[in-house]
């Protein structure tokens, strides 16, 4: 916990101390203000930056979600960061990294505050109907093999979303949910340590537990959902998320439909 009213800046040394020996302590790039941590991480990746590169920002001027949507986050309140990975995998496994990042964030927040977070397929963190965070995974592949993966996350930590913001989108934060101001440096270190441990297991081929956890944490499983794409709406009951990260639906005819996470939005009834 952090004393009320004293915002703690993000600090590389504190993060490195918290991480201990880690792939994420080798190349940390911290900006007070940047367009988007994903955009910079992608540039660094193309210029040969090593696996584990961590790009952090106190504020983003062009934070982005999927489908050209904006990610908005006030200066110095939240966590905004991107990690660069180079797993020797084929493209089918990339969704594992989104799963690992979501689960690591959920477990680190639970450990520090006791609050329960769920995953709204494919890439959002929710508490009940309110969005606590979003992930954005981008990648480059060559001959079906991964060159790099850029994993970004915006997590609302010590920000109190006002009435105005909540009119536009149902945002919440760790502070709003738990009444606790948490140290972002500590939360980040804990999250990345968890990430690294799961990533090592996934590299060794051990992914069964990940799929089980991901399905347990899924907010939409068992619910009636609408999948909205550019020219279509598909309705059905969400059954599960499969190994590739696709959502399995049962439609009104009882047919099983597989929805890839690509460019679709999901709406659901609580």
Minimal CB distance residue for ligand ADP: 65
| Residue 133 three-state SS | strand
Smallest distance, ligand ADP to C-beta of residue 216, A? 21
Site string for ligand ADP, 249-268 (x = CB under 6 A): ----------------x---
CA dihedral 213, 89, 41, 107 (to 10 degrees): 10
Judged on CB neighbours under 10 Å (0-12, 13-18, 19+), 233 is: exposed
Binding ligand ADP by CB under 6 A: which of 42, 131, 194, 213? 131
* 171 binds ligand ADP, rule: CB under 6 A: yes
Tell me, residue by residue from 96 to 125, as one string, x for binding to ligand ADP by CB under 6 A and - for no binding. Answer: ---------------------------xx-
Query: 201 to 260, contacts with ligand ADP by CB under 6 A?
Result: none
Interaction of residue 169 with ligand ADP, rule CB under 6 A: yes
Q: Toward ligand ADP, which CB reaches closer, 53 or 261?
A: 261
Q: Is the dihedral of CA 23, 26, 32, 35 positive or negative?
A: negative
Among 134, 152, 236, 245, binds ligand ADP (CB under 6 A): 134
Among 27, 30, 65, 178, the residue binding ligand ADP under the rule CB under 6 A is: 65
Q: At what angle do helices 184-203 and 12-19 cross, to 10 degrees?
A: 40
Name the CA radius of gyration of the chain, rounded. 18
Q: Which of 130, 270, 119, 102 is nearest to 198 (CA)?
A: 102
Q: Shortest distance, CB of residue 124 to ligand ADP, whole angstroms?
A: 5
Residue with smaller CB distance to ligand ADP, 19 or 80: 80
In this structure, are strands 54-60 and 28-34 parallel, antiparallel, or unpaired? parallel
Alpha carbon distance 24, 19 (integer Å)? 8
37 binds ligand ADP (CB under 6 A): no
Q: Is residue 184 within the footprint of ligand ADP (CB under 6 A)? A: no
């Amino acid at each position: 916990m952090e004393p009320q009213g004293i915002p703690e800046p993000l600090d590389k040394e504190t993060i490195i101390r918290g991480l201990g020996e880690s792939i994420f302590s080798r190349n940390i790039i911290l900006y007070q203000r940047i367009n988007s941590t994903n955009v910079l991480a992608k540039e660094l990746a193309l210029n040969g930056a090593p696996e584990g590169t961590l790009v952090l920002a106190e504020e983003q001027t062009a934070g982005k979600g999927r489908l050209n949507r904006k990610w908005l986050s006030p200066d110095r309140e939240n966590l905004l960061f991107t990690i660069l990975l180079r797993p020797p995998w084929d493209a089918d496994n990339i969704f594992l990294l989104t799963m690992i990042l979501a689960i690591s964030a959920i477990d680190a927040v639970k450990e520090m505050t006791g609050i329960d977070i769920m995953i709204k397929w494919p890439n959002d963190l929710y508490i009940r109907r309110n969005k606590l965070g979003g992930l954005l995974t981008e990648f480059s592949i060559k001959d079906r093999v991964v060159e790099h993966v850029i994993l970004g996350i915006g997590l609302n930590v010590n920000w109190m979303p006002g009435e105005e913001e909540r009119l536009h989108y149902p945002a919440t934060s760790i502070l709003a949910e738990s009444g606790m101001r948490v140290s972002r440096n500590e939360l980040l270190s804990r999250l990345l340590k968890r990430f690294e441990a799961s990533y090592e297991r996934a590299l060794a081929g051990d992914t069964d537990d990940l799929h089980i956890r991901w399905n347990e944490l899924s907010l939409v499983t068992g619910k009636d959902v609408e999948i909205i794409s550019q020219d279509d709406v598909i309705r059905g009951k969400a059954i599960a998320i499969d190994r590739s990260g696709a959502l399995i639906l049962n439609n009104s005819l009882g047919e099983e439909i597989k929805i890839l996470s690509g460019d679709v939005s999901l709406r659901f009834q609580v």
